[in-house]
Amino acid sequence: MKSLEKIWNDIPNYFLCTVFAILEWFTLFYAMVEMYLPRRQMFPAVATFLFLTFSMIALYGVIGKLNVAVIIHNAIISLYGLIQYFAVQLRGTIFYMSDIYNLKTATNVADNYSLKFDKHFWISFVCIMGITCFAFLLKKRKCIGIKKRVITLCFGTIMTVASVCLMLFIEDTYSYNQYFNGYARNGYIYEFIGTMDVSLKEPDGYKASDYEEKINVSYIDKMKEQNPNVLIVMSESFIDSDTYDFGETEDLMPVLHSVSKDENCISGTLYSSVLGGMTSCMEFETLTGHSSYFSGNVVQYTAYMRDGNKYGSLAHVFNELGYATTAFHPYLKSGYNRQTAYETMGFQNYVAIEDLDDSDKGLTIPGRPYVSDEYDYEKLMDIVRSTKERDFVMNITMQNHSVYEEKELTAIDKVTDTGIDSLDNYLYLLSLTDKATEQLVTDLKSFKEPTVVVFFGDHQPREMVGYSQANELNIYEVPYYIWANFDIDTDIENTDITSANFLAPIMFEAVWGQQPNGWYEYLMQLRNEYPVISQNAVFDINKNMVKPKLVEYEKTAYYAIWDQKNKKGE
């Protein structure tokens, strides 16, 4: 027994750091996080292992006691792994540093989610407990001296920084794009570190004077001759049921499929920049014409927008046209810093769930915590009818927000039987959106005021990951429709595919036959070269997926939207 104890005590502490790092690596990289990634690569696995080893050695140098260092290091890494595990399980996407800005939004909807602990969680839990137990066996080991601690700390820190720099300085190593792909390529620690900086930066080589004349040109006066209402309906987690084969016995959305064939409708496929969440990123792209291609997995409302500033947006355009501008989102006002974002983008009014009467019948679908699309559309029409001016309304719906596990929905007979209750419930909700849209279209056809509706899904729900690998582009496909109750130009080229940043210029061209200012004129020209520019995909005019630098787009957008010092009139 003593010989075994002696052998144990003779094992070098640095070797034990390596052993514990291997256990942590297995626990988190494979059992807890890597299981969700679309592919495994050797380089991120080795790089992650090196980071865990050297960071543990550095912590050992700080504390001096190996058992304490192992327990603390294991607790930190395990906490991060748990956060990733729950983030992927609840919303289908990975946790990034920028998500810290959105904790308030997360708490708003947290009560509607339920956590499930699968075998991966329990494997990880056993490993974590095992590491902790082994660490207690080290308690008899003496604390190393100050000199040795300094050497250990310096060595561990230098090697940790070196391992990080090795990854970060490799060209195109880390990327916000395609959520899972960056993690699969780089490993979860390096991808997280590589995307920690979410600050808004002036593009390299940017000069405001290069864009003043081109962007500040205005055609507003010419557009005032025609003034239809403009209603943008961004439908929560809405997809075209034809995207996948669900085994449905009848068309789940006959109304929208019929609307797409209307003589006054432009429709096609929109490539979303997000998956399963981060709705406001799609709002931002639609309202500003900028793309998340540059900001990545950052929520622009929370990371960039500050009180007292003025950011370029559609609301400012319609304010100049004399419209009443309203943002309507039937959920809590505090989500995604919307109050500040809408104010700085020029909206005159913001209507949220706090402004609705929760005693109204039909507010929600039985068993669901979110406002129904039927009720949403009724309130949308109320907003339009209540103003003397023409209206611009940005409506973000809530009905189809995850989760979809309500028993009340499961008990309803449906036209699909996928074998997954939550998926069948979701598809049933899509059919309700279609029925609600039928009433909206009917109301608008008899409405005396000319009105154009821009309708699109913000993203696919996380449940669709089971039908499409996360690195395939159809997981980002959602439908869009630009429909009017009056004659519009539907012969615009290259509208079968688009991205949210190009919806406004397409709409302006279809309705007015021109753009309101130099910024939207530039966007219209850009989409003739790249009809899709999203976070996850860029297509050229021949529908080939490309990876352009888009430097001019970034600089032009910075002047048109962000530049607070050099804007005209400021």
Contacts of 167 (CB under 8 A, 6+ apart): 47, 173, 174, 186, 187, 190, 194
Of 542 and 48, the one with more pLDDT: 542
Task: Using a pLDDT cut of 70, give the percent of the chain over it.
Answer: 80
Burial of 559 (0-12, 13-18, 19+ CB in 10 A): buried
**Secondary structure of residue 428 in the 3-state scheme:** helix
The three-point CA angle 331-337-340 to 5° equals 110
Letter string b/e over residues 24-43, b meaning 16 or more CB atoms within 10 A of that residue's CB = bbbbbbbbbbbbbbeeeeee
Residue range 139-150: mean pLDDT, rounded? 82
* DSSP letter assigned to residue 38: S
DSSP state of 501: G
pLDDT at 180: 47
- Look at 354 and 364; give whichever has higher pLDDT: 354
d(CA 368, CA 227): 38
Q: What is the mean pLDDT of the chain?
A: 81
Of 454, 452, 552, nearest to 503 (Cα)? 454
Mean pLDDT highest for which of 146-155, 264-273, 401-410?
A: 264-273
Q: Please, which pLDDT band fits residue 113 given cuts at 50, 70 and 90?
A: low
- pLDDT in the model for residue 176: 36
pLDDT of residue 178: 44
Which token pair is 197? Answer: 């900086």
In 3D, which of 194, 168, 186 has the Cα closest to residue 40? Answer: 186
* Chain center to CA of 111: 20
Highest mean pLDDT among 84-93, 235-244, 435-444: 435-444
Query: Cα separation of 237 and 296, whole Å?
Result: 20
Per the DSSP assignment, residues forming a β-bridge with 268 are: 480
Quick one: three-class SS letters along 361-417?
CCCECCCCCCECHHHHHHHHHHHHHCCCCCEEEEEECCCCCCCCCCHHHHCCCCCCC
pLDDT at 177: 39
C-alpha angle with apex 280: 371 to 420, nearest 5 degrees?
55
pLDDT over 90 at 67, yes or no: no
Res 114: pLDDT: 59
CA distance 401 to 399: 6
DSSP letter (8 states) at residue 229: E
CA distances, 38 to each of 139, 180, 185, 271 (Å) = 41, 7, 10, 20
Predicted confidence (pLDDT) at residue 108 exceeds the cutoff of 60: no
What's the residue count for the chain?
570
And the tokens for 102?
A: 């959105």
Asked if 348 contacts 392 with a C-beta cutoff of 8 angstroms, the reply is no
- Stretch (H or E) spanning 525: helix 518-527
Q: How far apart are the C-alpha atoms of 504 and 510, rounded to whole Å?
A: 10
Q: Which of 31-35, 169-173, 527-531, 545-549 has the highest mean pLDDT?
A: 527-531
Q: Report in angstroms the alpha-carbon separations of 150 from 60, 140, 147.
A: 10, 21, 5
User: Are 80 and 183 a contacting pair, CB within 8 Å?
Assistant: no
Looking at residue 147, the DSSP 8-state letter turns out to be H
Query: Alpha-carbon distance 487 to 267, whole Å?
Result: 15
Note the pLDDT tens digit of each residue in 478-500.
999 999 999 999 999 999 999 99
Alpha helix segments (H runs only) across 92-232? 103-110, 119-136, 146-168, 180-186, 188-194, 212-216, 220-223
Retrieve residue 14's tokens.
């640095």
Residue 380: the pLDDT is 95
- Confidence at residue 169, expressed as pLDDT on a 0 to 100 scale: 57
Q: What is the pLDDT of residue 62?
A: 87
Q: Which residue has the higher pLDDT, 161 or 467?
A: 161
Query: Buried b vs exposed e over 279-316: b needs ≥16 C-beta within 10 Å?
Result: bbbbbbbbbbbbbbbbbbbbbbbbbbbeeeeebbbbbb
Residue 437 has pLDDT above 50, yes or no: yes
% of the chain with per-residue pLDDT over 90: 36
> Comparing 104 with 335, which gets the higher pLDDT?
335
pLDDT in tens, 271-280: 998 887 778 8
Burial of 159 (0-12, 13-18, 19+ CB in 10 A): middle
Query: Residues 215, 392, 284, CA angle at the centre, nearest 5°?
Result: 60
| Phi–psi pair at 113, nearest 5 degrees | -110, 155
Which has the minimum average pLDDT: 30-44, 365-379, 483-497? Answer: 30-44
* Residue pLDDT, tens place only, 153-167: 898 888 888 877 766
Give the pLDDT of residue 191. Answer: 61
Candidate ranges 95-99, 369-373, 470-474; pick with highest mean pLDDT: 369-373
252 to 243, 246, 527, 557: CA distances (angstroms): 12, 10, 32, 39
Residue 183 — pLDDT band, cuts 50, 70, 90? Answer: low
Residue 471 has pLDDT above 60, yes or no: no
Top pLDDT among 278 and 358 is at 278
Q: Which two tokens stand for residue 400?
A: 């189809």
For the ranges 158-172, 232-246, 265-279, 420-434, which has the lowest average pLDDT? 158-172
In this predicted model, which residue has the larger pLDDT, 525 or 73?
525
Q: Is 246 helix (H, G, I), strand (E, B) or coil?
A: coil
pLDDT for 402: 81
pLDDT of residue 337: 82
Q: Where is 15: in which H helix or E strand?
A: helix 13-25
Tokens representing residue 272 in the block: 């979303």
State the pairing for strand pair 349-352/391-396. unpaired
Confidence of residue 93 (pLDDT cuts 50, 70, 90): low
